[in-house]
């Protein structure tokens, strides 16, 4: 029996398609990030929503001080 891990080749198109099917809007994306943080045992989650005038500039998501710009 081999000790090799299975190998999967996934094209960028497949990753994009899966992401679009899983996350249909920004609220769903934020909820998914919060759930993932909970699953990863984050002790807290902080979300900053930065705007420039009336436009959304960026959202920064911080589970345990690790920032992700979304």
Q: Which residue has the tokens 């690790």?
A: 66
4 lies in a domain? no
Averaged pLDDT for residues 39-63: 69
- Helices marked H in the chain — which ranges? 12-22, 26-39
The domain of 57 spans: 12-69
In this prediction, residue 37 has a pLDDT band, given cuts at 50, 70 and 90, of confident
Q: pTM here?
A: 0.49
2 lies in a domain? no
3 lies in a domain? no
Report the number of distinct structural domains present in the chain: 1
Residue 35 has pLDDT above 80, yes or no: yes
19 lies in a domain? yes
55 lies in a domain? yes
Q: Give the pLDDT of residue 2.
A: 63
Residue 70 has pLDDT above 70, yes or no: no
39-61 burial by CB neighbour count: b if 16+ within 10 A, else e? eeebeeeeeeeeeeeeeeeebeb
């Amino acid at each position: 029996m081999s000790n090799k891990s299975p190998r999967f080749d996934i094209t960028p198109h497949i990753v994009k398609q899966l992401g679009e099917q899983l996350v249909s809007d920004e609220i769903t994306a934020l909820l998914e990030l919060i759930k993932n943080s909970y699953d990863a045992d984050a002790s807290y989650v902080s979300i900053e929503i930065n705007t420039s005038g009336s436009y959304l500039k960026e959202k920064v998501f911080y589970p345990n001080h690790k920032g992700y710009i979304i």
